[in-house]
Amino acid sequence: MNSIYLFGIASQRNTWLAVRQETITSNIAHANTPGYRARDVQPFAEVLQAIRPDMAASDPGHLQDSSAYGGGDAVTNEAAWHTSESGNSVSIERELVKSGEVNAAFSLNNGVIKAFHRMLLTSTKV
């Protein structure tokens, strides 16, 4: 039986989401710190591309994945929103939008895992 990578990927995604949420809260905490620059983490698509397991064809009729993954957005430029006179580039509104994105992604990730887990349990029932 081959390994199921979905659970490992979901775990890595939850870890990435936790790190991103921590970065967002750090940005909000430093909203009034002079000279502080807002930070963000590397997009998960790039993280996943770096650790992606190689695909194996078990049958000559299987297609090979020869393309490099080009998805994922580059890290957005935080200065595009505004920079205050003190040199601080944190936008509370922007950070709250990102926090909502993390919450939605976490809910989706857990929903997919629950559905996959139910499917796996159903398929193994005797």
pLDDT in tens for each of the 126 residues of the chain?
456 678 888 888 999 999 999 999 999 999 888 888 889 998 888 877 776 655 566 677 765 554 443 333 334 445 445 666 677 888 899 999 999 999 999 999 999 999 998 998 998 886
Instruction: Please report, for residues 25, 26, 36, 102, 115, the alpha-carbon distance to residue 31 in angstroms, rounded to integers and kept in the order given.
Output: 10, 9, 8, 19, 39
Q: Give CA–CA dist 98/93, Å, rounded.
A: 9
pTM here is 0.68
